[in-house]
């Protein structure tokens, strides 16, 4: 009788050799030296895995069942809800309630803390989650995901919101599930356990560990920026300068932005680079929720050897004050996040440097109320030092003297629990001359220039020995030693338009007409150097104009 043969196909071998999510969690919980908390978190992650299988199916069927349709109402975070958001939220809540380990939950879709039956002895944990991140893109089949984090709760007490409002470094476990061409679960039970990645095998209905697991941020990360550069004009100044710096590098950075945090961060985890959602002029506290979006993602990236920051410091060290508090975030490989933090230390945290000026038509809509300027930059026409910062108490008088303008109410930033300062600036342009040759270090955001080169748009840094300046000839921005810059006493020829620009090809309301031969006063480049702000010397009108129409 012939002996039975064993299949040696690659797929069969993978199924035997690669552990499933269930097996990994069981093996982790069964280790002799393993803590009770890790074993309990393994049970909770198992329940989340079951819930996400259901959500994955619902996402796949959403186009057929029309569950991606937008509802008329919004959730308590202010986002428009879709039917699929509610379905995913209910699935997560139901799975966690029956887990037996959960006493409280925080969801993006619920205003208040969700309490569970805590009568079971093991129910001493809280789960924070976003049931369906990126759902606004679901109609066009863009990747979406679920984000989660697990906290331990104080024993023998009914949970309160204060028990969950704790720094992200106190998370016991965190992870996310990506619903895309495949369904992928990425999780970490702490730095000692690393980051594990599992992909759904639909033929057996189980998450199978990926060959690349455990996952680490690459030692030689790719140069990728992931961020909504459509908001670049209203980003804070350190972020804008970081993007400018990347454009000057010999090894160019690529721009990759999906618009779904789970998808963008997953790519950043695998390839390196940086994902960022900065604060901007209208959203001073950022837009992503810190408790159930920023914290879990930062926990995973740090466990994989990456880094996550608000720009000013480690994001996991923040103690939230409300369940749906928002925060800016910069997350990715240490190389790029450290560069961002370096800029935040050196460059003032302003928002107005790259905002397009208000058009003449809207300028008539000024309000009699006091302007919301907290501080403003004044160009000193008699001293040889760069512009300095004036306290808010003198901002009104300063604005009158220098041409700085109040911001109409329609353009003012949102003021709910945020600092309302930082209106638009309009600078009196003074040119500064470099007194000697300077070879700057581009890795430290420094410019180079020869003796006699002209610079404008000077901003004093946090370190007064350095000044942020724009090269009048090239439009490049960077840092120069303050001691080498003196106010120019010579006549400076204005830029002259070499071709006509009527403004018809520009969608901005702030475009200004220039004819060939018109001189440009107060010329300054925008963050997108293809455009500039200028005053037409013939008409006196100010606005946005293409840089290319001016003769060099």
Q: Which of 21, 25, 84, 132 is catalytic?
A: 132
Question: What is the reported pLDDT for 410?
Answer: 37
10 within a domain of the structure (yes/no) = no
Q: Which of 40, 43, 108, 426 is catalytic?
A: 108
Q: Is 465 a catalytic residue?
A: no
Q: Which of 293, 341, 471, 518 is catalytic?
A: 293
- What are the backbone angles phi and psi of residue 238, rounded to the nearest 5°? -60, -40
Q: Are 181 and 265 within one domain?
A: no
412 within a domain of the structure (yes/no) = no
Sheet architecture: strand order including 114-115: 114-115, 102-107, 125-133, 144-152, 173-179, 183-188, 196-201, 206-209
Range of the domain at 507: 495-549
473 within a domain of the structure (yes/no) = no
Distance CA 37, CA 172 (A): 8
Question: What is the reported pLDDT for 455?
Answer: 84
Q: Are 192 and 230 within one domain?
A: no
Which residues of 217-336 form beta strands (DSSP E)? 224-226, 254-255, 274-277, 288-289, 307-309, 326-327, 329-332
Q: Are 76 and 173 within one domain?
A: yes
Q: Which of 109, 302, 406, 518 is catalytic?
A: 109
Q: Is 233 a catalytic residue?
A: no
Question: What is the reported pLDDT for 75?
Answer: 67
Q: Are 191 and 230 within one domain?
A: no
Q: Write b or e for each residue in 340-378: b if 16 or more Cβ atoms lie within 10 A of its Cβ, otherwise e.
A: bbebbebbbebbbbbbbbbbeeeeeeeeeeebbbebbbb
Q: Which of 43, 133, 302, 426 is catalytic?
A: 133
Question: What is the reported pLDDT for 510?
Answer: 74
Question: What is the reported pLDDT for 183?
Answer: 95
Cβ–Cβ < 8 Å for 416, 282 = no
Q: Are 35 and 136 within one domain?
A: yes
9 within a domain of the structure (yes/no) = no
Beta pairing, strands 224-226 & 274-277: parallel
443 within a domain of the structure (yes/no) = no
Q: Which of 70, 79, 233, 446 is catalytic?
A: 79
Q: Domain count of the chain?
A: 3
| Last residue of one domain, picked from the residues 331, 346, 361 | 346
- Residue 505's CB is within 10 A of a number of other CB atoms, namely 8
Question: What is the reported pLDDT for 384?
Answer: 38
Distance CA 192, CA 342 (A): 29
Q: Are 193 and 259 within one domain?
A: no
Q: Is 108 a catalytic residue?
A: yes
57 within a domain of the structure (yes/no) = yes
The encoded tokens of residue 305 equal 């050897």
Q: Which of 21, 40, 43, 85 is catalytic?
A: 85
Question: What is the reported pLDDT for 357?
Answer: 34
Q: Are 167 and 255 within one domain?
A: no
| Last residue of one domain, picked from the residues 140, 174, 209 | 209
Q: Are 245 and 274 within one domain?
A: yes
Give me the residues of the chain with pLDDT under 70, please. Answer: 1-17, 33-34, 66-79, 118-122, 351-430, 457, 489-494, 504-509, 522, 527-528, 551-552
| Last residue of one domain, picked from the residues 324, 346, 368 | 346
Q: Are 183 and 320 within one domain?
A: no
Question: What is the reported pLDDT for 186?
Answer: 97
**527: which DSSP letter?**
S
Q: Is 336 a catalytic residue?
A: no
Question: What is the reported pLDDT for 374?
Answer: 30
Residues in the chain: 552
End-to-end CA distance of the chain: 91
Contacts of 13 (CB under 8 A, 6+ apart): none
- Residue 181's CB is within 10 A of a number of other CB atoms, namely 8
């Amino acid at each position: 009788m012939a002996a039975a043969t064993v299949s040696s196909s690659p797929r069969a071998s993978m199924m035997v050799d690669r552990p499933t999510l269930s097996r990994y969690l069981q093996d982790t919980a069964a280790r002799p030296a393993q803590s009770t908390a890790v074993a309990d978190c393994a049970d909770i992650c198992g329940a989340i895995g079951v819930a996400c299988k259901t959500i994955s199916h619902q996402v796949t069927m959403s186009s057929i069942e029309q569950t991606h349709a937008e509802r008329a109402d919004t959730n308590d975070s202010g986002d428009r809800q879709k039917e699929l958001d509610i379905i995913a939220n209910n699935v997560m809540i139901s799975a966690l309630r029956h887990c037996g380990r959960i006493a409280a939950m925080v969801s993006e879709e619920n205003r208040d803390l969700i309490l569970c039956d805590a009568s079971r002895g093991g129910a001493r944990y809280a789960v924070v989650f976003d049931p369906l991140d990126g759902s606004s893109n679901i109609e066009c089949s863009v990747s979406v995901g679920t984000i989660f984090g697990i906290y331990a709760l104080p024993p023998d007490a009914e949970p309160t919101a204060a028990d969950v409002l704790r720094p992200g470094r106190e998370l016991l476990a965190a992870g996310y599930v990506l619903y895309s061409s495949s369904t992928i679960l990425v999780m970490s039970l702490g730095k000692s356990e690393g980051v594990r990645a599992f992909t759904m095998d639909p033929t057996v209905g189980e998450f199978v560990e990926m060959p690349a697991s455990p996952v680490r941020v690459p030692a030689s990360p790719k140069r990728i920026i992931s961020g909504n550069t459509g908001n670049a004009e209203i980003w804070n100044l350190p972020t804008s300068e970081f993007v400018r710096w990347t454009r000057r590098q010999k090894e160019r950075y690529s721009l990759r932005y999906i618009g779904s945090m789970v998808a963008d961060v997953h790519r950043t985890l695998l390839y390196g680079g940086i994902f960022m959602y900065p604060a901007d002029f209208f959203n001073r506290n950022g837009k992503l929720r810190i408790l159930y979006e920023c914290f879990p993602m930062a926990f995973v990236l740090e466990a994989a050897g990456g880094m996550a920051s608000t720009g000013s410091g480690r994001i996991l060290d923040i103690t939230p004050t409300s369940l749906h508090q928002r925060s800016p975030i910069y997350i990715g490989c240490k190389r790029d996040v450290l560069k961002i933090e370096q800029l935040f230390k050196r460059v003032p945290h302003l928002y107005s440097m790259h905002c397009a000026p208000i058009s003449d038509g809207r300028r008539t809509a000024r309000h009699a109320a006091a302007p919301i300027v907290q501080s403003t930059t004044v160009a000193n026409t008699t001293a040889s030092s760069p512009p300095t910062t004036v306290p808010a108490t003198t901002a009104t008088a300063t604005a009158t003297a220098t041409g700085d303008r109040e911001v109409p109410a329609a353009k003012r930033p949102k003021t709910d629990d945020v600092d309302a300062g930082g209106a638009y600036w309009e600078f009196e342009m003074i040119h500064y001359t470099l007194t000697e040759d300077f070879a700057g270090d581009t890795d430290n955001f420094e410019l180079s220039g020869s003796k006699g080169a002209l610079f404008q748009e000077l901003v004093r840094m946090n370190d007064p020995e350095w000044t942020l300046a724009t090269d009048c000839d090239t439009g490049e921005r960077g840092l120069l030693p303050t001691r080498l810059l003196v106010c120019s006493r010579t006549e400076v020829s204005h830029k002259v338009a070499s071709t006509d620009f009527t403004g018809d090809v520009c969608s901005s309301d702030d475009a200004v007409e220039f004819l060939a031969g018109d001189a440009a006063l107060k010329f300054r480049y925008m963050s997108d150097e293809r455009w500039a702000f200028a005053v037409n010397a013939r008409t006196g009108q100010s606005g946005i104009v293409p840089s290319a129409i001016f003769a060099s």
